[in-house]
Copies of this chain bind each other. A is one copy, B any other.
Amino acid sequence: MNTLQVSLADRSYPIYIGDALLSDRELLCQHINSKEVLVVTNTTIAPLYLETVLANLTEYRCDSVILPDGEQFKTLDVLNHIFDALLQNHFSRQVTLIALGGGVIGDMTGFAAACYQRGVAFIQIPTTLLSQVDSSVGGKTAVNHPLGKNMIGAFYQPQCVIADTATLNTLEQRQLSSGLAEVIKYGIINDPEFFRWLEQNIDDLVARKTSALIEAVERSCRDKADIVASDEFEHGVRALLNLGHTFGHAIETGMGYGSWLHGEAIAVGMIMAAELSCRMGWVSREQVDRITQLIQAAGLPVKSPTTMSTQQFMDLMAVDKKVQDGRIRLVLLTDIGKAIVTDDYDAEALQATLDYFQSQS
């Protein structure tokens, strides 16, 4: 088992990465400080892993909530099911919530923990590649609003994260690829050496070779933890993690939550950002091609949805959180391994990029 410390002053916490950690009772229980535990999971994960986790918790007054599975259920209404369960159990401010599932479960459970009685403890057990490398690091929790993704939430850190790579064996291939999109992102924005490692190992990752998965999860978490530690509340460098997200969120919203997976939308979004960067003369055509090829090799889409117009993209991008005083701020590239946040790009180049993807789709 590898342990990685996310350093955030008095809110620091460890991430444990390894094989078959789910049945490690001691690992889990050392981070629970009271007798009350609520496990939050979904209809897909519950039959696979809930029993294993509950078997570790026989010493506690414990209950579980099983939410419907999917991004379309990441709403205030469904969040309320968690509050219902907490209150029906008369759970106090000392309760610990355990998020067992992917990013949606992690985001909702974390937000419920941030809000229940103004803040209780929670533990993340991410069971998808995407959540192991993304939402488990950094303390971003949220639910969606019909008018925008992740618009209602909190910065809130868990007690610990337990990333069991064995859980990735039950993942659908499409979900695995979606996680690889975020893994690739870390290479593109900040870690050129990791990008090259990914070019060499992408086939092993797609084939779920355990050693490759552990390496990819650990390097991704380390890259993200470094960035988050230097900018917990996203005033600066942390915004680089949004590479592909402004385009990607537009796709997710435009297509309806749950139609495109988050990683799929981000994958195309990253290629769009690279394309715009290329049109600005900041990266070469060859670099855009390398990015596109790696994303394709990961089993991800490289074209935008056929049904979305340039205007629809522009409208949806305008409600994204990255808008400041009316200008859409984007994460763009000056190299593979070097991203910048900027609104100093040519509006016509953005238009041309969107038109280009429209014509390709």
Interface residues of A (CB under 8 A from B): 34-35, 76, 79-80, 83-84, 86-88, 90, 92-94, 114-119, 140, 142, 145, 147-148, 151-155, 233, 318-319, 321, 323-325
Contacts and interface: CB of A to CB of B under 8 A. Distances in A.
Contacts of A83: 145, 151-152
A325 B42 CA distance: 28
A93 B152 contact: no
B90 A318 contact: yes
Contact of A114 (B34, B117, B154): B154
A92 B115 CA distance: 22
B80 A76 contact: yes
Contact of A119 (B119, B155, B325): B155
A38 to B, nearest CB: 14
A176 to B, nearest CB: 28
B151 A117 contact: yes
B92 A321 contact: yes
A244 to B, nearest CB: 19
A358 to B, nearest CB: 23
Contacts of A117: 151, 153, 321
Given A93-B321, A321-B92, A324-B92, A87 B148 contact: yes
Nearest to A36: B325
Nearest to A75: B80
9 contacts: A35-B325, A76-B80, A90-B319, A90-B323, A93-B324, A115-B152, A116-B152, A118-B142, A154-B154
Contacts of A318: 90
Contact of A118 (B87, B90, B118, B154): B154
Contacts of A79: 76
B35 A147 contact: no
A151 B116 contact: yes
Given A90-B319, A94-B324, A115 B147 contact: no
B323 A118 contact: no
A286 B286 CA distance: 88
Nearest to A86: B151
Nearest to A233: B119
A34 to B, nearest CB: 8
Most chain B CB atoms below 10 A, which of A83, A92, A140, A152: A152
Contacts of A86: 151
B80 A115 contact: no
Given A87-B151, A116-B152, A118-B155, 9 more contacts: A80-B145, A83-B152, A92-B325, A93-B321, A94-B324, A117-B153, A118-B142, A118-B153, A119-B233
A79 B115 CA distance: 14
A88 B152 CA distance: 14
A80 to B, nearest CB: 6
A94 to B, nearest CB: 7
Contacts of A88: 147
Contacts of A35: 325
A120 to B, nearest CB: 11
Given A140-B118, A153-B118, A323 B76 contact: no
A323 B87 CA distance: 12
A355 B328 CA distance: 64
A93 B153 CA distance: 12
Contacts of A325: 34-35, 92, 94
